[in-house]
Amino acid sequence: MARPALLSLQQQIIALTSELEASACSTLPRGVGKLTSVMLTREICDWHRFNNRRAISSYTGLCPGERSSGSKRVPGSVTKRGNPRIRAALVECAWRMVRFQPKYPPVKKRLAILAKGARATGAQRKKAIVAAARHLAVDLWRIHTGRCSAAQLGLNSTQTLIVRGEHKGER
């Protein structure tokens, strides 16, 4: 009784997913999936509304907090004041960057902590991936606003692969 309804829902999900993927930008950095790109763009609405890198970092909630009093400054943990869906997507995308683009500068800087088999603790890995995600958000903002190209930022763009005679785009 529930199986036909579930199959119908699955077909609708597949159709909507392919529709979203079709609306994605054709040149994406390798590791940034089409669905992730569309979701980030739709959540942010307009990349041009941010005037500088600090504004985009603050909007994502991936920037560190700070406690200040006079000349004393104590850095804190991530504020988490921004959009949680964007934050989650950026962290997931940063993990894909570790796998697909280990030479991307923010990942390369932290590769000793983030690489598979690294002897870092869970807390160190989380801090490193959040830092990489923050840099990725700023770099995506730079790409979408035309300030830089993906190649200038050290990102390889998507390539078309031939897998068993079929053309498939990498994510």
Q: What is the pLDDT of residues 92-130, one digit of tens each?
A: 999 999 999 999 999 999 998 988 888 888 889 999 999
- Interatomic CA distance for residues 162 and 171, integer angstroms: 14
Q: What counts of helices (H) and strands (E) characterise the chain?
A: 7, 4
Which two tokens mark 29?
Answer: 């950095």
User: pLDDT tens digit string along 40-91?
Assistant: 888 998 999 999 999 998 899 888 888 888 888 888 777 778 889 999 999 9
For the entire predicted model, the pTM comes to 0.78
Residue with tokens 């950095």: 29
Which two tokens mark 135?
Answer: 């840099």
What region does 153 belong to: left with phi over 0, alpha with psi -120 to 50, or beta? alpha
